[in-house]
Amino acid sequence: MDELISFAKRRGFIFPSSEIYGGLNAIYDMGPLGVLLRNNIKQLWWKHAVQMRDDMVGLDASILMNSKVWETSGHVKLFADPLVECKKCHQRFRADHLLPPTPAVPGHEREDVTSSKPRCPECEGELTEVRMFNTMFKTNFGPVEDDSSVVYLRPETAQGMFVNFKNVWDTARMKIPFGIAQIGKAFRNEITTGNFIFRLREFEQMEIEYFVKPTQWEEAFNSWLEWMKQWMTMIGLDEKKIHFREIPEADRAHYSKRTIDIEYDFPFGQSELYGLAYRTDFDLKNHSQGSKKPLEVRDLQTNEVFTPHVVEPTFGVDRTMLAVLLAAYTTIEGGRSTTTEANKEQEVILRLPKALAPIKVAILPLSKKEELTKPAKEIAQQLRNKWMVAYDDVASIGRRYRRQDEIGTPYCITVDFDTAKDHAVTVRDRDTMAQERVAIDQLQQYLSTHLEY
């Protein structure tokens, strides 16, 4: 993890937020390459979760919502984590994070810290009794700060989809089963954070609420589970590092009748990457009662009126990004080049799936002479109409190849002294280092074929 964190900052993927002022715990900023990788993850997910399906629509709900939403959903009362404080050093910890790392054992009670009696991980001091701490961020809405002006930064994106269900149903011309997808920021005042971008206080979710008849939930649940497996293969995760953990009833959220946590082998241990839950009709029924607005639908074939049940696949953008970087980050002692200089070094290759690579193509003129830089810049500008393109004419061609390999660029294009004669360039593959001569007027078609997803 330390090596990846250093790499992510050095190459412009992820920076500590407000670092010049000492930073802010568990808050990070996306650098020039990080924002591209992050956007590519979201775009790929949206393409396959929404664009390529006829049973999905999208939504972008506001972060701030009427506080009654969170009262009705149970968040104000129940969205809390177990908190303990050290009596000696007065540091605070999430109690279940101090338990032995055995969450994969069926029946394990994560909140039961009484029997294990953990000590303070910092000073070995005695800990206080557990108390529950609500992790929603509060703020005030409007110029007057009192209890009536309290609003919350949303701790999840789901409720925005539930309270908009009737609006979507009335306007999108969908029929059951169908889903609503959303990508957006959420905020949780976590007691303990850590492991880089794994557990953040400000994070982003890619979430789906899939509405079904009460008898359809198992079919939908299994279908989305398979979809999630395909997604993880698509983004380059090793299936040997993926684990599916059926959550026992005692450990499930209060609204869930079935939950599967999809866990991944991170360097710090096996931890949750995604989740899949069957929420029954809990949310729509509660919001219907709380708002006094019916959130039911009518089956046009049977004339049956019912409240839809919900299957919810949840994906964290930040955890996806971390898993993708870890899976792609490859080091080769001595490097892949056969030159003496390169054999003395360690080479880093970021083997990102082409669809996720921040820069798709790098244009590298063999020298800084205008006869090469002029056509190289023209090629770069032409390709920018379709892809993110880098232009680099600094240092030897070997060093420039390695710079692009390190940030995951799939293809490097070299403009050389033969280009003016044969109107062609050399295309180099990141993973195989194979080189192919391609005519300039065929270059866009060549790249389209190799970069499509």
- Please report the pLDDT score of residue 391 as a whole number: 98
- Please report the pLDDT score of residue 112 as a whole number: 52
> How open is the CA angle 27-32-36, to the nearest 5 degrees?
95
- Please report the pLDDT score of residue 116 as a whole number: 62
**Spatial distance between the Cα atoms of 438 and 435, rounded to a whole number of angstroms:** 10
250, 109 Cβ separation under 8 angstroms? yes
How does pLDDT run across 109-167, given as a tens digit for each residue? 444 555 567 888 888 888 888 877 778 999 999 888 877 889 999 999 999 999 999 99
* 359-451 and 2-77+135-325 share a CATH fold: no
188 against 98, higher pLDDT:
188
375, 421 Cβ separation under 8 angstroms? no
- Please report the pLDDT score of residue 212 as a whole number: 97
- Please report the pLDDT score of residue 344 as a whole number: 58
CATH architecture of 359-451: 3-Layer(aba) Sandwich (3.40)
* Residue length of the chain: 453
In whole angstroms, how far apart are CA 158 and each of 73, 225, 261, 295, 353? Answer: 10, 18, 17, 16, 29
- Please report the pLDDT score of residue 392 as a whole number: 97
Q: Phi/psi class of residue 408: alpha, beta or left (left: φ > 0; alpha: ψ in -120 to 50)?
A: left
Give the DSSP per-residue string, 410-453: SEEEEE-TTHHHHSEEEEEETTT--EEEEEGGGHHHHHHHHH--
Strand ranges in 159-212 using DSSP code E only, listed in sequence order: 178-187, 202-212
**Spatial distance between the Cα atoms of 405 and 347, rounded to a whole number of angstroms:** 9
- Please report the pLDDT score of residue 1 as a whole number: 94
Strand ranges in 267-394 using DSSP code E only, listed in sequence order: 269-280, 297-298, 305-306, 309-316, 329-333, 346-350, 361-365, 389-391
**Spatial distance between the Cα atoms of 54 and 49, rounded to a whole number of angstroms:** 10
In whole angstroms, how far apart are CA 401 and each of 100, 382, 409? Answer: 45, 21, 9
Neighbours of 233 (CB within 10 A): 13
Instruction: Look up the pTM and report it.
Output: 0.89
316, 274 Cβ separation under 8 angstroms? yes
Percent of the chain with pLDDT over 70: 94
**Spatial distance between the Cα atoms of 304 and 296, rounded to a whole number of angstroms:** 10
Neighbours of 442 (CB within 10 A): 11
Strand ranges in 200-291 using DSSP code E only, listed in sequence order: 202-212, 242-246, 258-266, 269-280
How does pLDDT run across 280-327, given as a tens digit for each residue? 999 999 999 999 999 999 988 889 999 999 999 999 999 999 999 999
DSSP assigned state of 126: P
- Band of pLDDT at residue 107, cut at 50, 70 and 90: very low
Domain 2-77+135-325 coded CATH 3.30.930.10: yes
Q: Is the pLDDT of residue 88 over 70?
A: yes
- Please report the pLDDT score of residue 343 as a whole number: 52
Neighbours of 268 (CB within 10 A): 12
Query: What mean pLDDT, rounded, does the chain reach?
Result: 91
How does pLDDT run across 164-199, given as a tens digit for each residue? 999 999 999 999 999 999 999 999 988 777 799 999
Domain ranges of the chain: 2-77+135-325, 80-134, 359-451
Backbone angles phi, psi at 261, to 5 degrees: -90, 130
Give the distance from CA 125 to its chain's centroid: 37
Q: At what angle do helices 2-10 and 317-328 cross, to 10 degrees?
A: 100
